[in-house]
């Protein structure tokens, strides 16, 4: 604490991705309201393109690379050695943001591991130890209370890693998870010491309030609608977010071949919906920095016959603008996880192509599992069938999602309520599990969230079925 300000450091933050940006924006907006005396600092391996709110400091932590997977460790060791002698290296080397990042972590009141993932688990294991678990280790080395804020996790099949994962995750005070599939994986890992809640994706918790005229102007400037807006000569709008090899086919024997088949399948699907529904198809690029969706989108468009009916949103629009534009779609075909979240938030009928269990989890939770396709089972015929079914049922889907969105918004809000509980217990100098549970109960009652978590303490919830490959 300094001048009654709560110093909150957010680690394991991703960037160059409109989805993770939306989750972090929502988290920061909500925490600013719940904990108005907070000062937030983001420590990330990739700050470039991380568009967050004013007043949030962003420091670069040494990034992982395939050539030097433990590149950050010498900096950490050097900083720690000098720290023992009372020397703060950030003062001598102000251009080395890694030292500023370490100073911020050591001075924090609480640490938040950012929404995203599954960055704990086998799927992104190249980064896990040298970046994500390292940040948790440093937080506990500095004796800081930690909340892991609404990511996905798992699977955990690598036994030797599980020893380290189990040890560090059991040191954390609170873990919230955005899908029940991840909860099952965490239970299998035997992580029992933290307070654990299944919540919802962080992006659900805030509303996007952008002037409709501004969105109409943007959509007109992008050629999505005419200058007069959607009221004149209205065509159906179908949003689409494709994904590439690193998401869809990273474990395949012939990833390039599979991606080529996928590109042709998506192009054929676009031609079909343009003709069938007299639609304009709108590509929404979600990756825009080091990883960039535009080359993939361009390759798919080359294969499309009805090019005149295809539009590509500029990658410059931030996550809030993207969400507002997606809210104007008649349907979304989402391969990118957060594009699905954006659509569901606005009760837009959605067909989801899932490459990870996070997408499976959210579609099942909102009752949309019949519009879900596992990437391993994706065929042109199956995709067209799901699209036609969603189109035919679009009014019923809107009604269903209209009811579900408020539930997911409240569950998402729980991520921030639990963070406030950790702050309150930190201020009382008691972050033990029993005290946290008492404080959480008080806040749940205060914010009238009892109905969401009436059965949260039911031990049977730990038996969640989490095999997603059959989805």
Q: Per residue in 155-178, pLDDT tens?
A: 999 999 999 999 999 999 999 999
Q: Are residues 326 and 430 in the same domain?
A: no
pLDDT at 103 over 70: yes
Predicted local confidence at residue 309, as pLDDT: 96
Predicted local confidence at residue 14, as pLDDT: 81
> Measuring CA to CA, which residue among 355, 332, 356, 354 is closest to residue 344?
332
Q: What is the mean pLDDT of residues 344-361?
A: 96
Q: Check residues 126 and 257 and name the one with the higher pLDDT.
A: 257
Provide CB contacts within 8 A for 8, sequence distance 6+: 31, 35, 38, 39, 40, 41, 108, 109, 110, 111, 112, 423
Predicted local confidence at residue 80, as pLDDT: 85
Q: Are residues 440 and 327 in the same domain?
A: no
Q: What is the mean pLDDT of residues 340-347?
A: 96
Radius of gyration of the chain (CA): 22
- pLDDT, tens only, 191-213: 999 999 999 999 999 988 899 99
Predicted TM-score (pTM) of the model is: 0.91
Q: Check residues 273 and 228 and name the one with the higher pLDDT.
A: 273
Q: Residues 257, 259, 261, 267: is their CA dihedral positive or negative?
A: negative
Predicted local confidence at residue 226, as pLDDT: 73
- Note whether residue 468 is domain-resident: no
pLDDT at 1 over 80: no
Residue 118: asked if its preceding bond is cis (omega within 30°), the reply is: yes
Domain with 370, as residue range(s), is: 212-405
Domain count, the chain: 2
- pLDDT, tens only, 30-87: 999 999 999 999 988 776 655 666 678 888 776 544 444 556 677 787 888 888 878 8
Please give the helix or strand (H or E) that residue 320 lies within, else none.
helix 319-326
Q: Looking up tokens 């199956």, which residue turns up?
A: 382
pLDDT at 338 over 80: yes
| pLDDT band for position 460 (cuts 50, 70, 90) | very low
- pLDDT, tens only, 124-138: 888 898 889 999 999
Look at residues 375, 405, 435 and tell me which one is the last residue of a structural domain: 405
Q: Are residues 420 and 382 in the same domain?
A: no
Q: Check residues 98 and 38 and name the one with the higher pLDDT.
A: 38
Q: What is the mean pLDDT of residues 352-359?
A: 96
pLDDT at 262 over 60: yes
Q: pLDDT over 70 for what percent of the chain?
A: 90
Predicted local confidence at residue 409, as pLDDT: 96
Q: Are residues 41 and 112 in the same domain?
A: yes
CB 354 within 8 A of CB 375: yes
- pLDDT, tens only, 135-160: 999 999 999 999 999 999 999 999 99
CA 455 to chain CA centroid, nearest Å: 26
- Cα angle: 172, vertex 443, 115; to 5 degrees: 45
Q: Are residues 157 and 263 in the same domain?
A: no
Predicted local confidence at residue 52, as pLDDT: 65
Q: Looking up tokens 């900083």, which residue turns up?
A: 79
Predicted local confidence at residue 87, as pLDDT: 85
Q: Are residues 85 and 223 in the same domain?
A: no
Q: Are residues 343 and 449 in the same domain?
A: no
- pLDDT, tens only, 281-295: 999 999 987 778 999
Q: Are residues 141 and 271 in the same domain?
A: no
- Note whether residue 374 is domain-resident: yes
Please give the helix or strand (H or E) that residue 241 lies within, else none.
strand 236-241
Average pLDDT of every residue of the chain: 89
Q: How many residues would you count in the chain?
A: 471
Which spans in 130-281 are helix H? 134-141, 159-169, 180-188, 212-221, 245-248, 255-277
Helix (H, G, I), strand (E, B) or coil at 141: helix
Cα separation values, 15 from 147, 318, 449, Å: 20, 12, 31
- Domain CATH for 293: 3.40.50.2000
Q: Are residues 359 and 284 in the same domain?
A: yes
- Note whether residue 384 is domain-resident: yes
| pLDDT band for position 227 (cuts 50, 70, 90) | low
Q: Are residues 45 and 192 in the same domain?
A: yes
Predicted local confidence at residue 62, as pLDDT: 62
Phi, psi at residue 265, to the nearest 5°? -65, -45
Q: Are residues 132 and 225 in the same domain?
A: no
Helix (H, G, I), strand (E, B) or coil at 106: helix
The Cα–Cα gap between 115 and 223 comes to 33
Q: Are residues 137 and 162 in the same domain?
A: yes
pLDDT at 461 over 60: no
Q: Check residues 54 and 329 and name the one with the higher pLDDT.
A: 329
């Amino acid at each position: 604490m300094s001048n009654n300000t709560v110093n909150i450091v957010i680690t394991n933050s991703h960037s160059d991705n409109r989805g993770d940006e939306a989750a972090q924006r929502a988290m920061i907006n909500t925490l600013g309201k719940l904990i108005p005396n907070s000062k937030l600092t983001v420590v990330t391996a990739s700050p470039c393109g991380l568009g967050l709110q004013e007043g949030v400091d962003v420091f670069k932590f040494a990034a992982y690379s395939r050539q030097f997977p433990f590149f950050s460790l010498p900096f950490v060791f050097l900083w720690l050695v000098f720290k023992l002698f009372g020397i703060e290296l950030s003062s001598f080397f102000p251009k080395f943001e890694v030292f500023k990042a370490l100073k911020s972590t050591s001075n924090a009141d609480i640490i938040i591991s950012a929404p995203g993932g599954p960055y704990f688990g086998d799927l992104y294991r190249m980064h896990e130890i040298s970046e994500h678990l390292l940040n948790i280790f440093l937080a506990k080395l500095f004796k800081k209370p930690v909340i892991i804020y609404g990511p996905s996790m798992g699977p955990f099949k690598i036994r030797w890693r599980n020893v380290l994962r189990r040890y560090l995750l059991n040191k954390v005070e609170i873990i919230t998870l955005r899908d029940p599939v991840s909860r099952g994986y965490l239970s299998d890992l035997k992580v029992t010491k933290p307070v654990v809640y299944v919540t919802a994706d962080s992006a659900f918790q805030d509303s996007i309030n952008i002037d409709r005229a501004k969105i109409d102007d943007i959509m007109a400037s992008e050629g999505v609608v005419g200058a007069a807006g959607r009221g004149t000569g209205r065509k159906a709008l179908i949003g689409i977010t494709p994904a590439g090899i690193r998401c869809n086919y990273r474990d395949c024997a012939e990833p390039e071949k599979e991606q080529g088949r996928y590109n042709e399948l998506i192009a054929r699907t676009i031609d079909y919906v343009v003709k069938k529904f007299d639609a304009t198809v709108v590509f929404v690029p979600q990756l825009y920095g080091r990883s960039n969706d535009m080359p993939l989108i361009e390759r798919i468009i080359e294969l499309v016959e009805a090019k005149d009916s295809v539009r590509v949103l500029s990658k410059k629009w931030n996550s809030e603008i993207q969400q507002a534009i997606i809210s104007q779609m008649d349907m979304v075909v989402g391969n990118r996880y957060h594009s699905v979240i954006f659509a569901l938030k606005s009760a837009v009928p959605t067909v989801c192509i899932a490459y990870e269990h996070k997408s499976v989890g959210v579609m099942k939770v909102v009752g949309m599992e019949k519009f879900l396709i596992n990437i391993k089972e994706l065929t042109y015929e199956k995709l067209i069938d799901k699209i036609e079914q969603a189109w035919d049922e679009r009014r019923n889907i809107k009604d269903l999602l209209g009811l579900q969105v408020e539930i997911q918004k409240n569950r998402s809000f729980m991520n921030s309520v639990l963070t406030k509980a950790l702050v309150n217990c930190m201020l009382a100098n008691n972050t033990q599990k029993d005290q946290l549970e008492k404080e959480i109960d008080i806040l749940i009652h205060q914010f009238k969230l009892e109905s969401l978590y009436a059965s949260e303490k039911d031990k049977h919830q730990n038996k969640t079925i989490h095999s997603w490959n059959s989805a």
